[in-house]
Structure 1
């Protein structure tokens, strides 16, 4: 028995339904642009926020009561896995994601962690064999324990680097064993708070070498999934090395990893970096480096990553527009790195939060597909940049400053500003959402 036993599998009932535990927009089998919504969106439940988080915040402790608390023993780890797969059944969700520490308690030493990770992933594998739910990605928690307080691969202590390497190897092995489609490196504390005690160049070199080791090991074990890194600004380190998509892309190129590693982008992290999620996705897709996304939202009045479920259809639509425009997900998907509020205590709250998030994503995705098929935004872009299609403009890009200056003088070029048509385009988007 789990806290989700009494709930039937959520079904699509359409927009006229008033059932809070029914899908109003997400019809998993509906075909859009040649694939079903389930195949396009590839939804995943985050094990950490949904099952491991106890309802604390920076100013208060646990508010939830779950059958698998306290999370300090393996008996309760098995109970948590039972509840998780019952929850996956209720949502009929195709994927889930985990950190190692979500699955089992930290044993305080690597041998103990390795043993308990093997035990719980054997059990999870048995649960997966009886379920439709697969593993989108696994990752290592290298931020919670005090050993990681100065970073993992960037730590000034080589013993911590070694512990991190062993931990990542064990998590890659577990992800591979469970048929995971990606492996994520989430650098929660890869950064610094002051340069007074930090050798920035050495730490970046160590981080680059560590990631090359990860790629080498991927090929050694025959892991076919993608290796992803996740931009993570200002949380918790003041200066994160993996600040945003552009920073990560530059880092990967510096260390020769641009053809081996892609990005796992999160909406909340985009906001903390001072960007929109749409910007981060467009930056990654422009470089062919989008791997997967964590879908959530921040409270724009708070200064930290509040990890709320998405509820803004226009924002979501523009994000999926760029994903669709780039060809859609391959190994990646839509992971709900989101949590209910600490006052939302019940099983029904957990289910309704995911149902609402899936509905918003489906609604935004269908709007994105409609915009892409209509072609209005692409037509507007083509018109705005049409001048660059002329022979003179193309020749100029292969020229030099002196020759261009001579042309400006001889032709008396006097640029006439043209409208960017922003409000017209915003109105266009609103027709679809």
Structure 2
């Protein structure tokens, strides 16, 4: 046991009237919502990188956090694992997530790096068995080291492609051995800074083949989880190839992977792409590729990915509404890909931020469930599209352009527009959020 969270007990549920900042007001793991436990609906996870690896720096200043596990030795990594599971238990969170370079230091060779990761994974396995905390997903960091400055799968140097493939193999093996529910690929530098030195067609072909190799290997080892791609439009590159959900779906279709790979959607990335969070979720549901979610938010006055903890209940409620209408999570969940502000220095800040984020997700779930039970939005949609349920309208979709044009002229069709009633529906939503 470490003493980092000394004096902080397991977070209790105290209800909506509580003013205790370290108590849940809405999150009750065993509460039934639409016939399913709240914990099983939300499947929430703590991310390793922002919570335990980020030092609090920004482009204009260095480290502000002083954590006893910061360092490049295995001793530091073991302490970090100890503290992480102490936090998971205090939060009663069911899952965590990690990059390979979050959990163990990089060695002098890939073999040494992989050995370091496996050594920490053994500690994880023991702690997971003791606590019941599961792994929502693992991934490989293919963007921080300078070798990846021009990308990993899309790098112009084939040796970097090979190194990335070997690193992913180890990370996927470890994720499989730990019973991970998913494996994520985030193309942090799979894009370009300038087209002057970029062969886009070649790079897209490389990315497609790399992903195909990952899927082939996943099936070979019998990994039962889902392979996920996390869309992001920019940052750190000027333009990333996995721009948004629709772009990723087109990429998957091109390489015949739309039945093998789904998407991990982040709130902040949706905003950077010029979309709303619920738009990206609804798009993924409509295309059949919805997988998982990174729960955070951006500062809308900033033009970059600020990764703040979620606190916008209406935004989260609408997102969860679309998730529930799409059937809910299967292997995915809500991963708190969120970091403290660099002035939030204390251990209690780390616990309290997650308490708030978990409560926001719980409130969003309750609101979304109430919307579904009320049925008002479904009724409005059914009324708006009722014309398409008639035999004539369905037959028209099987017809041809000339036949449709002939009918319009013969029957002198001249339709009048009907109100979309947007404000009425917005007012209806506000009854629940």
8 A contact 1:295–1:310 mirrored in 2? yes
Structure 2 gap ranges (5+): none
In structure 2, what is the equivalent of residue 32 of structure 1? 33
In the alignment, does 2:333 pair up with 1:333?
A: yes
- Unaligned ranges ≥5, structure 1: none
Counterpart residue number, 1:9: 10
CA contact (8 A) 2:314 2:364 kept: yes
CA drift at 1:108:
4.2
Q: Is the 8 A contact 2:191 2:241 kept in 1?
A: yes
Question: In the aligned structure 2, how far is the partner of 1:401 from the partner of 1:214?
Answer: 44
Contact 2:278–2:315 (8 Å) recurs in 1 = yes
- Looking at structure 2, the residues matched to 63 and 7 of structure 1 have their Cα atoms a distance apart, in angstroms, of 22
Shift of 1:2: 3.1
Contact 2:182/2:228 (CA < 8 Å) preserved in 1?
yes
Alpha-carbon displacement from aligned partner over 1:239-273 (angstroms, at most 9, x marks no partner): 11000000001101110101111111100000000
Q: Distance in 1 between the 2:148 and 2:27 partners?
A: 40
Contact 2:41 2:329 in 1 (8 A): yes
- Tell me, yes or no, if the aligned pair for 1:28 and 1:37 is still in contact at 8 Å: yes
How far apart are residue 294 of structure 1 and its match? 0.3
Deviation track 1:4-51 (CA, whole Å, cap 9, x = no partner) reads 132110011001111000001111111011111111101100000000
Tell whether the 8 Å contact from 1:2 to 1:86 is kept in structure 2 after alignment.
no
Q: In the alignment, does 2:68 pair up with 1:67?
A: yes
Say which SS state the counterpart of residue 183 (structure 1) adopts.
Answer: strand
Say whether the 8 Å CA contact 1:264–1:290 is kept in structure 2: yes
Q: Structure 1 residue 392: deviation in Å?
A: 2.1
Cα drift, residue 165 of structure 1: 0.2
In 2, distance between residues paired with 1:107 and 1:302?
A: 36
CA–CA distance in 2 between the matches of 1:368 and 1:325? 10
Aligned-residue CA RMSD (Å): 0.9
Report what 1:348 is aligned to: 348
Residue 166 of structure 2: aligned partner: 166
- The answer (yes or no) to whether the contact 2:151–2:190 under 8 Å persists in 1 is yes
Indicate the residue corresponding to 2:123 in structure 1. Answer: 123
Distance 1:357 1:45 in 2: 11
Residue 283 of structure 1 deviates from its aligned partner by 0.4
3-state secondary structure, aligned to 1:130? helix
The answer to whether the 8 A contact 2:53-2:70 is kept is: no
Match of 1:186 in 2: 186
1:103 paired residue number: 103
Kindly provide the CA deviation profile for residues 62-93 of structure 1, in whole angstroms up to 9, marking residues without a partner as x.
100111022x1111000100000000111011
Q: How many residues align?
A: 432
Q: How does 1:248-327 map to 2 (within 5 A)?
A: 248-327=248-327
Report the TM-score when normalising by structure 2: 0.98
Deviation at 1:405, TM superposition (A): 1.7
